[in-house]
Amino acid sequence: MPLSRRDFLATTAVALGAGAIGLPTIATAWQQAEGRAPQAPPQWTPVFTDIRRGVGYFLGRGGTIGYLVDPNGVVAVDSQFPDSAPVFVAGLKERTKDRPVDRLFNTHHHGDHSGGNNAFRGVAKRVVAHERAAALIKEAAVRPNAAEQLVPDATFTDVWREEIGGDWVRAKHYGRAHTGGDAVITFERANVAHMGDLMFNRRVPVIDRVNGAVVANWVKVLELTVADHSTDTIYIFGHAGGTHPVTGSSKELLYFRDYLTALLDHTRGAVKAGQTKEQFTVTKPILTGFEDFGPHAANTLGIVWDEIVLGA
């Protein structure tokens, strides 16, 4: 039976967790999963969308890119894939009149968020990431046959904060969640926060247990993030399912928190009922109240099962 794209995203969690991987790897894996010969990636349309005070987001291929365009400062958040990053950089230059990018932030190490870093070579003054994310990006960059990559040259453990142009930009690590090195990038004056893959809007999330993900702590991270921002903060999400938007309010973050809680509770119930992991992972449940997320692939269920049975 062909996989849905949502199922495929879940089954690629381990591959993503191994480090930043390029677009051909993901495209080929998807085609092989469907039993098809590798083909060229599908066409996509680049779109820039402004939010407020020079902050906006870019949709191309992969995770959502955030940006700040100010007469006295330019910031990019994430870089997508090697083929879409140059399109973003070209569009950004049109908006900034070729002003250098003061900072490129990577919210985490996955290839659909950091794989395009090299397009910022000679463009970005510094690349910033949480220390764990930076280590994984660097690790992937030195593997045999790895493509040339621009790796972070500045890291932080808890918080990075500086004034860039007309805004204060804060990168904050709230703890292990989607990976062990996620960061929320907040433009304080614009009151816009880029969540990276800490936020999947109505889409089954990738859970990178190999590289530090903890679903139970992810719930806490979402709550801490909401508590750390104001009621009118606009959040940029890493991904969204179907026609759902890639921006929203704290309401969406707390809905995703409730979904993760329901997924944990559902799995705990199966463990308590005496199901084996093999029995549980073939169920592909659709959680009541969270039908928009659709069915769950065996890989996702197995990861949550392992967290509950084996611990974080």
pLDDT tens-place values along the chain, 312 residues long: 333 333 333 333 333 333 333 333 333 333 333 344 455 556 789 999 999 999 999 999 999 999 999 999 999 999 999 999 999 999 999 999 889 999 999 999 999 999 999 999 999 999 999 999 999 999 999 999 999 999 999 999 999 999 999 999 999 999 999 999 999 999 999 999 999 999 999 999 999 999 999 999 999 999 999 999 999 999 999 999 999 999 999 999 999 999 999 999 999 999 999 999 999 999 999 999 999 999 999 999 999 999 999 998
Please enumerate in sequence order all residues whose Cβ is within 8 A of that of 140, keeping only pairs 6 or more positions apart, or say none. Answer: 18, 19, 20, 21, 109, 111, 146, 149
Q: What is the pLDDT of residue 117?
A: 98
CA distance 70 to 184: 20
Q: What is the pLDDT of residue 42?
A: 61
Q: What is the pLDDT of residue 44?
A: 83
Longest dimension (CA), the chain: 63
Shortest CA distance to 246 belongs to which of 73, 51, 34? 51
CA distance 197 to 80: 12
Q: What is the pLDDT of residue 39?
A: 53
Q: Is 228 exposed, middle or buried (0-12, 13-18, 19+ CB in 10 A)?
A: middle
Q: What is the pLDDT of residue 7?
A: 35
Q: Is 301 exposed, middle or buried (0-12, 13-18, 19+ CB in 10 A)?
A: buried
Radius of gyration of the chain, Cα coordinates, nearest whole angstrom: 19
Task: Look at the chain and count its residues.
Answer: 312
Q: Domains of the chain (ranges plus CATH)?
A: 5-310 (3.60.15.10)
Shortest CA distance to 187 belongs to which of 74, 98, 92, 97? 74
3-class secondary-structure state, position 193: strand
